[in-house]
Amino acid sequence: MRRSVPKNPGPAAIRQSVPLSRHPRRPNDPPSACNLCGLPPGDPAEMQVFREHDEADRPIRGDAALVFVARDHQKCQRAVKAHPRLYARETGGPGHFPQLCGPCAKRDGFECRDPRLRANGGDGLVVYLTGGLPPGTIICPPPKIVRDAVGCEGREAKPE
């Protein structure tokens, strides 16, 4: 069975397109709402994060290259797929797990301020991930597994 590979439209077409990370409706706080339409998802647990790639389809490093899109915004999802630039889905990380961190009171921009996080000098913050392959599964070559963060021991809802 052949797997279809998305066609790269070429470096010139990619350079001429406006990257989604610079979309005019992208909120000042990107994890808070869909970066394409500016509206919140129907359910905060329905955000996804994509990493923007350059004209050679190499991932662009840094938080500025992360694009948050609501899973239930079909028009926005289609726009990501149709864009000349490559956008690959990511799991996220502390401070920008799309399903957990947007509405968390301990998030400051793309940073997690929970004192238990190792980056903050703590012993470790437990984040529960779902998805992926069952233990013991071997696939060659190994696929890129995108897992959803579904729980965090430090998550604290923002006060209304």
Cis before 141 (ω within 30) = yes
Q: Measure the CA–CA gap between 42 and 13, rounded to whole angstroms.
A: 33
Predicted local confidence at residue 142, as pLDDT: 59
Please state the three-class secondary structure of 56-83 as a single string.
CCCECCCHHHEEEEECCCHHHHHHHHHC
What are the residue boundaries of the structural domains of the chain, listed by start? 1-90, 100-160
> What are the angstrom distances between the C-alpha of 120 and each of 63, 93, 113, 125, 152?
18, 14, 7, 10, 16
pLDDT at residue number 137: 61
The backbone torsions φ and ψ at residue 99, rounded to the nearest 5 degrees and listed phi first, read: -90, -15
Closest CA to 20 of 76, 98, 71: 76
The pLDDT assigned to 34 comes to: 93
pLDDT in tens, the chain (160 residues): 445 555 677 888 888 889 999 999 999 989 888 999 999 888 766 889 999 999 889 999 999 999 999 989 999 999 999 999 999 998 888 888 877 888 889 998 889 999 999 999 999 998 888 766 566 666 666 566 667 787 888 888 887 7
Q: Is the dihedral of CA 53, 59, 64, 66 positive or negative?
A: positive
Which tokens sit at 113?
Answer: 């301020």
The predicted pLDDT at position 121 comes to 94
Helices within the chain (DSSP H only): 11-16, 74-82
Asked if 24 and 61 count as a contact pair (C-beta separation under 8 A), the reply is: no
